[in-house]
Amino acid sequence: MPEPKKPTGFRGRWAWVDLASRTVRVEPADPGYGRDYVGGRGLQARLLADHLEKTGPLEDPLSPQNRIVVGSAALNDTAVPTAGRGSCSFVGTMARSPVPAAWVPGHKPVYGLVTHSSSGGLFPNMLKRAGFDQLIIDGRADRPVRLEVVDGELRIVDAEDGLFETAQGRRVPRKASEITDFLASRIKGGSTLTVGPAGWNLVDFACLTADYHRNFGRGGAGAIFGSKNLVAVTAYGKDPVAYDDAEAFKRFGQEIDKLVRASVDDPNRTASFRPTTGTTWWLDRAFNGRYLGVKGGYLPWHNFDEGAFDPADYDRVSTDAFLAISGKHSVCNKCRHIFCTRSAKVETGPYAGAGVRPEFETIALWINCCILDRDAIFHLNDLCNELGVDTMTFGSVMAGAMELSEKGFLSGFGSRLRFGDAAEMVQALKDIAYAANGLGRLLGHHSDRVIAEVAASAPSTALADIVYCTTTAYGGLGYAGISPKAFPGMFTAYGTSNRGRGDHTYAWTIQAEEGGLKDARDLAAYVAEGQAGKALVDSLGLCDFFTADITAEPFLSLYRALTGIAYTPGSLKECGRRIYALERRMNNLQGRDRTYDSFVPAKLKVPLGHGAHQGRAVDETFYNSVLDAYYDAWGWSNTGSVV
């Protein structure tokens, strides 16, 4: 009998982990899934759908019935630039609104959305080297456990006492760096993905942290690990990727490498800024139009009230301000040329320390809290990595809490939060992560629960005012760092993203809108196409900043040389649409329809008072016309259901 052909590109093995029975089943991967859903995010969407289609809507994402899948894609651990991005998928905790919410017109319960998170670092590639494409994790362990994935074997082991400490009266996992170091001493050369105290305390926007500062950030993956009594996954292995045609892969790989290099060398491409400024060039572009922008005026300020503020204040938190504390590159495994991440160091003062430079979205959303202290932003970012908190949702939650606090609605919870007060924001972060007090426990929950709890302690006439402060209402993740008032296309991207309102990564329209795109149908088509394209990028294991065309030559030949799968431009694009529509269908099952998509927070209907976009606000009528065209572009019903 000839030896069966070794899988190429993919590792070809999935591990089914049942924490309740402490059993592991290793099975060959389904090659049909790999072809039709590509890998990474797409494959995981299929694995979640197989589960959800049987169990019906999952009403509580923190129940043992939630499935979380962690893994990689065919390109991961190859020499293709940025091929170090892994995937994690689950039903999210933040994007939900499960009980009646009188503040949402026509409210329907949304139980949590299918969420994909992408992370770089070393962990995804190391998991693949350790012998598995996907870990499919179900159930809840009866005591704290961790997973060891070493050289083709997967073990569930009891979490050691040394992984825990008592903080604020609770036994919680240590900070991410301490857990990573502890497990590195157990498994030499291993890479660790860990929950933080926030996830253990079921904070709805808790993340998972890999390799000290890489995160499966949005949607609540940390809370899912916490709900499963799962502390960490450590991977180690040396198995290299196998190629269908190694010579051809090398040849096409060199062509791709040249294309990516050329984009970085071209001063008219945004890729050229990344090795120096990373993502922070967007700060200047959003504030004043520098870096190939137009005129700025859309960097959110004071809980999304404005998109501009005093330029003298801005200098303290500008692109250059963060460049001044930047050090050497500190990039994901297999990154080449683009190199967006740099170490950073604050030498003196209360926030002195060493870590990595924060990302644009993080900084923007903390500027939205009127924090104009660069060193405090650096420190808060470091603390979020250590405690396992999604920096972006934290920023949105803080902006709302500051406004609620200044209006007196949080006095019964002991809040001293104020716009611009960095020290109180640092304290609030610890209070939330450690569920240390009434304020911390309140703010760690999804927003509609926060609104209900705050409203219960206020006069009934105050409800509208409370809701006004909370732009994360009705299952929002929190709007990202581009003012939602300035760009109707971006507002559509925010409103329709499969992983929840406010997400900016599934479609991105700013350059197109600054270039004049404004017709409703054109905006809708652009958003839909972006969403399908991004589903492919995530499913290929690449980074958003990869610059070669993934649906054209030489990329398609490269992929065929790796996997033996021959996509055409059309068939690969069709995979992107299939993946996105599958996620949407699961979200329909979870309660999402047009009611959710069309919700516009009252605050966003109030025009910007200053700056280049003065007078602009979300126009609900126009937005609904874009939504009509958007559903049409996808072929969904006018109520937003996949048919």
Q: Which of 44, 341, 492, 496 binds ligand SF4 (CB under 6 A)?
A: 341
- From the number of C-beta atoms within 10 Å of its C-beta (0-12, 13-18, 19+), residue 79 rates as middle
Is 95 or 338 the residue whose CB approaches ligand SF4 more closely? Answer: 338
CB of 112 to ligand SF4, least distance (A): 27
Q: Which of 55, 540, 605 is nearest to 334 (CA)?
A: 540
Q: Which of 74, 59, 60 is nearest to 29 (CA)?
A: 74
- By the rule CB under 6 A, 543 interacts with ligand SF4: yes
In eight-state DSSP terms, residue 317 is G
Q: Which of 72, 82, 234, 588 binds ligand SF4 (CB under 6 A)?
A: 82
Sign of the alpha-carbon dihedral angle for 35, 574, 634, 643 = negative
- By the rule CB under 6 A, 338 interacts with ligand SF4: yes
Q: Which of 62, 54, 48, 60 is nearest to 114 (CA)?
A: 48
Count of residues near ligand SF4 by CB under 6 A: 12
Is 343 or 598 the residue whose CB approaches ligand SF4 more closely? Answer: 343
Is 84 or 601 the residue whose CB approaches ligand SF4 more closely? Answer: 84
CB of 207 to ligand SF4, least distance (A): 15
CB of 351 to ligand SF4, least distance (A): 24
- By the rule CB under 6 A, 84 interacts with ligand SF4: yes
Contact region with ligand SF4 (CB under 6 A), list: 221-229, 328-336, 447-455, 487-495: 328-336
Q: Which of 260, 340, 380, 524 binds ligand SF4 (CB under 6 A)?
A: 340
- By the rule CB under 6 A, 533 interacts with ligand SF4: no
Residues 564 and 576: their CA atoms lie apart, in Å, by 19
Is 340 or 589 the residue whose CB approaches ligand SF4 more closely? Answer: 340
Give Cβ neighbours of residue 429 (< 8 Å, ≥ 6 apart).
380, 383, 384, 387, 389, 394
Is 147 or 543 the residue whose CB approaches ligand SF4 more closely? Answer: 543
The three state secondary structure string of 175-214 is: CHHHHHHHHHHHCCCCEEEEECHHHHCCCCCECEEECCCE
Is 92 or 120 the residue whose CB approaches ligand SF4 more closely? Answer: 120
SS3 assignment, position 326: strand
Is 92 or 278 the residue whose CB approaches ligand SF4 more closely? Answer: 278
Residue given tokens 């190429």 in the structure block: 8
Contact region with ligand SF4 (CB under 6 A), list: 47-55, 104-112, 336-344, 531-539: 336-344
CB of 338 to ligand SF4, least distance (A): 4
- By the rule CB under 6 A, 392 interacts with ligand SF4: no
Is 245 or 257 the residue whose CB approaches ligand SF4 more closely? Answer: 257
Site for ligand SF4 in 117-146 (CB under 6 A): 120
- By the rule CB under 6 A, 332 interacts with ligand SF4: yes
Is 58 or 340 the residue whose CB approaches ligand SF4 more closely? Answer: 340
Cβ neighbours of 456 (radius 10 Å)? 9
- By the rule CB under 6 A, 335 interacts with ligand SF4: yes
Site for ligand SF4 in 567-586 (CB under 6 A): none
The two tokens of residue 375 are 């060193």
Are the CB atoms for 200 and 229 separated by under 8 Å? no
SS3 assignment, position 231: strand
- By the rule CB under 6 A, 69 interacts with ligand SF4: no
Q: At what angle do helices 520-540 and 40-55 cross, to 10 degrees?
A: 100
User: How, if at all, do strands 326-329 and 342-346 pair?
Assistant: antiparallel
Residues making contact with ligand SF4 (CB under 6 A):
82, 84, 120, 331-332, 335, 338-341, 543, 545
